[in-house]
Structure 1
Amino acid sequence: MKYYTTKEASELLGVTKRYLAKLCSAKAIEGAEKRGSRWVIPESFVAEKTNRKAPEHVFNTTGICNPDEHYMVDLTQRLADVRTLIDEGKYFTINRARQFGKTTTLHALADFLSGDYLVISMDFQMQMSDAKFRNENSFSTAFARAFENSFRISAGSDRGCVDALNNFTEERKEAGDGFELVELFQALSNLCAAVPRKIVLMIDEVDSATNNQVFLDFLAQLRGYYINRSRYATFQSVVLAGVCDIRNLKRKMRPEEEHKDNSPWNIAADFDIDMSFHPKQIETMLQAYRNERGVTMDTESLAGEVYDYTSGYPYLVSRICQLLDEAYLAGEADSWTHAGILKAVRKLLRETNSLFEDMAKKIKDYPELGTMLRDILFCGKGIPFNLGTELVSVGAMFGFLKDDNGQVAIANRIFEIWFYNLFIAQDAIDSRTYDAGQQLKNQFITDHGLDVEMILKKFVEHFTESFGDRPDSFVEENGRRLFLLYIRPLINGTGNYYIESRTRSMGRTDLIIDYQGRRYIIEMKIWRGNEYNTRGEEQLIGYLNDYHLDRGYMLSFNFNKNKTPGVKEIHFRNHTLVEAIV
């Protein structure tokens, strides 16, 4: 059930927070709960008092999504595609970034397959602890007990299954301290032979086990039985789910032969099924929301905007929709509009959630990955997308990077802005440039938005004074980063900004700023001569046309010793371009 804070409920009901708090203290609101020092009020109470029907569904960003309770995209085609692999007897890994819908997919898949297979669903994070991996006996015993519990849930009272499980349990008990991996898999093989239905084994959260040698030996046993499946009964299919690609794990053949290793999971089939949400899928989910809530909204346009920011990353899609719904329930008239999405994105980027916390941890744990991200974002460095390159592989595994026509790119716009904010915040701690923008920001804000011409003028003055004697290499590597540092205090908490990724590796960087409903485009580039500059102006004009704007801005870092720093206005093809030269 959804709950409101007293502030949210008071706005919906037209009463004061204090009045609602008194009702809660007097136990006059059924279902009200005190969480910490604050009361929360059930949605059913608010719906009753406002004569509104409590919605049957909500947007969910925690735990498993259930179509009976949550707004969801249609998973039917995805489940059918996964089933094809299972029908073919494939063993495979669903490795996707955090909060990418892996667990929801596994639960939906178990239901989808239940008519034809006996699906055993396990979770290493819930059913196994680190202590269980200390040796083969402790692991095998703990795995067998967890398997037995999961088996009972799936098999129910089926007599053949119950008998097979009882025999499996007896084998475990009889072996005692000698119940190790060989004995475990012999017992599993006997069970698979005795059960009347084919068994599909699904294990979630396998990342919690990947640092343990005994788990690698477990995978090797799975591999051995898979290879010899014509001689020994075994699982129809095994599905492992986690962030890591288990195929990349290596198992030492013998401790004394450190240089000889092989993958214990090299029999796994490729899992290339797209688990991101497409615009049409998002639109279908929004249509279900619109029909249930009676909201007037352009579902196609909104779905496209949500996709533009998220590239279909499931958690990000659901969280933005959740924030829009909260704004709607709070009575914000522009909730399900372009302006509402901009507000939701700003709120999302400011909040602390488990996804962003994990991203920050990964950057701390992999400093070389952070350096590569900085090079892409601030220097426009082009890096070929090749999963054989360790850093690229790690970044893609974490969901930070994607393949953009053979080049490495940040996975989505939300992540890109978040990484910019992270790195700029790190640099701003001891930055004269950030401080300069902070001190002058009130000069740059007008009743109509941002005075970008003044921003450029003051930045040129600051850069010339602070960095005018630096070598060309410094300017080329740091110019764009310093400008982003300079404008960050203006946008912080009020606007959004992002880089148009298709221009980052072309010697120029198009910065798009959304501020109080207005959009500004600033092209940042390295000066390469008049011909190159003219071509850049033409490209910027085309980009302004795409956004229906008649005014654009250019920031050129010019290495010509005879340059004249400053700001000038150019009229070009019915557009006005304001160019700043550093």
Structure 2
Amino acid sequence: MLPPTPRLPEARALIEMDRYFVLHAPRQTGKTTMLRTLASDLAAEGDIAALSFSCERAGTVGDDIGAAETILLKSLRRAADLSGWPEELLPPNPWPQNPVRTQFGEALSAWCRRCPRRVVLFLDEIDALQGESLISILSQLRDGHNIRPDGHPFPASVVLCGLRDVRDYKVASGGTPGRFSPISPFNIIADSLRLGDFTADQIAQLYDQHTQATGQEFTKDAVDQVFELTQGQPWLVNAFAHEITFKMGVTGTIGDRQVEDAKERLIRARATHLDSLAARLHEPRVKRVMEPIVAGGPYTDRSNSDDLSYARDLGLITQKPPPQVANPIYREVILRVLGDLTEQNIHADPHSFVLPDGRFDLPRLLEEFVVFWREHGEVLIQQEGYHEAACQIILMAFLHRLVNGGGYLDREYAAGTKRLDVLVRWPYSGPDGGRLMQREAMELKVWRPGADDPKPEGLAQLDRYLDRLTLTTGALVIFDRRPEASPWKERGGFEQATTPSGRQVTVLRV
């Protein structure tokens, strides 16, 4: 385990300044571990009573403010009882009785009044609270925060920790994410910190601990591959190592081949973290963000900025523009989840696309896709929830169904690119028995109503993609979404074209 507190040194500085602030990050990034470690370190120094407790159970009672207050105080009491502190540091037992909507704040005041140390409180899973309960707790914290300068006893520092930034708590409680009013319970926050993902060096440090304990090494290529696939997302970094060392039972040195195998296993298994991520895709706020990313379209709605912030807080997309999926693992999961419906309609045998020499027959796959598109495309587009990205999702599902049995698909897509890049990697044995890798590149474009033919732009984009991959040929697939497009039964024409740099490529219009 990496030491938690060096990952966020600003937290300690804000606590020493008696600030109230938010710590947020996606699930499974180490927030709870950091809070517990920081609370333990502060308490051990002798002048602070720092306590971390979870608000999760209080989220089950919804708008019942009294019940939420009671559960929060019970959770706080339990955490204090388990702390091992001397009696004089513990909260009063029982808590003083006060009217609903004041119980939580008055209880904290009573504790601070009797405690000889400064009290620092970490409210973990704060965004589990809902509606009126969330507003009431934040209001009580705000009131206590504001009367501290008058000598009123109240926690010196409070840290609200959850998935989302404070602006989103207003949305969760039924408000709008606009500017907070001076009397808003949301205006006590001095700062908002985000717990970041691991760097490549931190992954190497973490995996080296495994090597020191067991003698089993991760090669540099393996570490680099894990960083590339996860972009440092902590749950994924740990999941890769667990999958390889425990579930796959690899006993020797771990290289990039084992990492590649683990990637496919994790995606296919749709472990809890990935499954909960996939469940978010059909939330309206998430869909409004993800659909342009998959379709390669622009963001034109100014109000979409709050949806983008929400998706960033969930860890679905990168923190900086242009918006794109946070890491290659998520890219794979998202397209596979969205393509589930299409995959159920594909009956072709994947093994029939393997040539006698072991290579993959991509031209035949595209011919089979034309047959599939003529028969099912119109219905699948109408049924696809991500309507603007339907063509890309359907072809990706077709490729995944037929390539995944023995090869790999690498997909690149982002908002504003107006394309989706695809690389098929197919391992096979050469004449001497050595392992070779066939690589086939494709570019996907959509001809939308009112737009010009995207072929010239697509050829230029494919040219740059092939240049980056050092490939001499590829395929450009153009989906025609115009009302005046050919009838469905007549779609699927192939032609040869030349890219700006002179590469000969195949163009498929469907």
Contact kept, 8 Å, 1:498 with 1:513, in 2: the verdict is: yes
Aligned partner letter, 2:496: K
Displacement of 1:361 in angstroms is: 3.5
Q: Render the CA deviation track for 1:433-452: whole Å, top value 9, x for unaligned.
A: x53xx326444223433222
The sequence identity of aligned pairs, in percent, is 22
Partner residue, 2:476: 554
Q: Is 1:214 the equivalent of 2:133?
A: yes
Partner residue, 1:123: 54
Displacement of 1:460 in angstroms is: 4.2
| Secondary structure class of the residue paired with 2:323 | strand
Cα 1:452/1:329, change in 2 over 3 Å: same
Q: Is 1:411 the equivalent of 2:326?
A: yes
| Secondary structure class of the residue paired with 1:554 | strand
Q: Distance in 2 between matches of 1:132 and 1:410?
A: 32
TM-score, scaled to structure 1: 0.70
1:396-435 map, 5 Å? 396-405=312-321, 407-429=322-344, 434-435=345-346
Partner residue, 1:87: 16
Contact kept, 8 Å, 1:400 with 1:411, in 2: the verdict is: yes
Partner residue, 1:16: none
Q: Distance in 1 between matches of 2:362 and 2:171?
A: 58
Partner residue, 1:370: 287
| Secondary structure class of the residue paired with 2:474 | strand
Contact kept, 8 Å, 1:386 with 1:392, in 2: the verdict is: no
Contact kept, 8 Å, 2:20 with 2:191, in 1: the verdict is: no
Question: Where does structure 2 lack aligned partners over 5 or more consecutive residues?
Answer: 174-179, 428-436
Displacement of 1:156 in angstroms is: 1.8
Contact kept, 8 Å, 1:342 with 1:496, in 2: the verdict is: no
| Secondary structure class of the residue paired with 2:83 | helix
Contact kept, 8 Å, 1:551 with 1:577, in 2: the verdict is: yes
Cα 1:226/1:421, change in 2 over 3 Å: same
Displacement of 1:425 in angstroms is: 0.6
1:138-177 map, 5 Å? 138-154=67-83, 156-157=85-86, 160-161=88-89, 165=91, 168-169=92-93, 172=96, 175=97
Among candidates 260, 265, 275, match of residue 342 of structure 1: 260
Contact kept, 8 Å, 1:456 with 1:555, in 2: the verdict is: no
Q: Render the CA deviation track for 1:282-320: whole Å, top value 9, x for unaligned.
A: 122123323433334422x32332222222221112111
Aligned partner letter, 2:258: G
Displacement of 1:464 in angstroms is: 6.2
Cα 1:494/1:269, change in 2 over 3 Å: farther
Aligned partner letter, 1:169: N
Q: Distance in 1 between matches of 2:94 and 2:349?
A: 77
Partner residue, 2:64: 134
| Secondary structure class of the residue paired with 1:323 | helix
Question: Where does structure 1 lack aligned partners over 5 or more consecutive residues?
Answer: 1-71, 254-259
Q: Is 1:483 the equivalent of 2:395?
A: yes
Contact kept, 8 Å, 1:524 with 1:555, in 2: the verdict is: yes
| Secondary structure class of the residue paired with 1:238 | strand
Q: Distance in 1 between matches of 2:485 and 2:140?
A: 68
Contact kept, 8 Å, 1:223 with 1:267, in 2: the verdict is: yes
Among candidates 182, 196, 199, match of residue 102 of structure 2: 182
Partner residue, 1:356: 274
Q: Distance in 2 between matches of 1:203 and 1:385?
A: 35
Q: Is 1:566 the equivalent of 2:465?
A: no
Partner residue, 1:455: 365
Partner residue, 2:37: 108
| Secondary structure class of the residue paired with 1:408 | coil
Q: Distance in 2 between matches of 1:313 and 1:190?
A: 41
Cα 1:251/1:295, change in 2 over 3 Å: closer
Displacement of 1:576 in angstroms is: 5.6
Displacement of 1:230 in angstroms is: 0.5
| Secondary structure class of the residue paired with 2:160 | strand
Displacement of 1:461 in angstroms is: 5.5
Aligned partner letter, 2:206: M
- More off after superposition, 541-550 vs 285-294: 541-550
Cα 1:439/1:284, change in 2 over 3 Å: same
Q: Distance in 1 between matches of 2:187 and 2:11?
A: 19
Q: Distance in 2 between matches of 1:151 and 1:97?
A: 27
Cα 1:466/1:399, change in 2 over 3 Å: closer
| Secondary structure class of the residue paired with 1:104 | helix
Aligned partner letter, 2:327: N
| Secondary structure class of the residue paired with 1:329 | coil
| TM-align CA RMSD | 3.9
| Secondary structure class of the residue paired with 2:135 | helix
Displacement of 1:88 in angstroms is: 1.8
Q: Distance in 1 between matches of 2:115 and 2:417?
A: 61
| Secondary structure class of the residue paired with 1:228 | helix
Among candidates 198, 209, 213, match of residue 288 of structure 1: 209
| Secondary structure class of the residue paired with 2:364 | helix
Cα 1:497/1:297, change in 2 over 3 Å: same
Q: Distance in 1 between matches of 2:95 and 2:235?
A: 43
Aligned partner letter, 1:513: V
Q: Distance in 1 between matches of 2:331 and 2:404?
A: 15
Q: Distance in 2 between matches of 1:103 and 1:228?
A: 29
TM-score, scaled to structure 2: 0.79
Contact kept, 8 Å, 1:119 with 1:201, in 2: the verdict is: yes
Q: Is 1:512 the equivalent of 2:454?
A: no
Q: Is 1:265 the equivalent of 2:208?
A: no
Partner residue, 2:169: 249
Partner residue, 2:431: none
Q: Render the CA deviation track for 1:124-165: whole Å, top value 9, x for unaligned.
A: 236x574697353x55444444433333443622x6425xx4
Partner residue, 2:413: 501
| Secondary structure class of the residue paired with 2:324 | strand
Contact kept, 8 Å, 1:524 with 1:556, in 2: the verdict is: yes
Cα 1:395/1:233, change in 2 over 3 Å: same
Q: Is 1:445 the equivalent of 2:367?
A: no
Cα 1:515/1:113, change in 2 over 3 Å: farther
Partner residue, 1:236: 156
Displacement of 1:544 in angstroms is: 3.3
| Secondary structure class of the residue paired with 1:419 | helix
Q: Render the CA deviation track for 1:356-405: whole Å, top value 9, x for unaligned.
A: 332344345x246336534431x222226978644334433332233442
Q: Render the CA deviation track for 1:6-47: whole Å, top value 9, x for unaligned.
A: xxxxxxxxxxxxxxxxxxxxxxxxxxxxxxxxxxxxxxxxxx
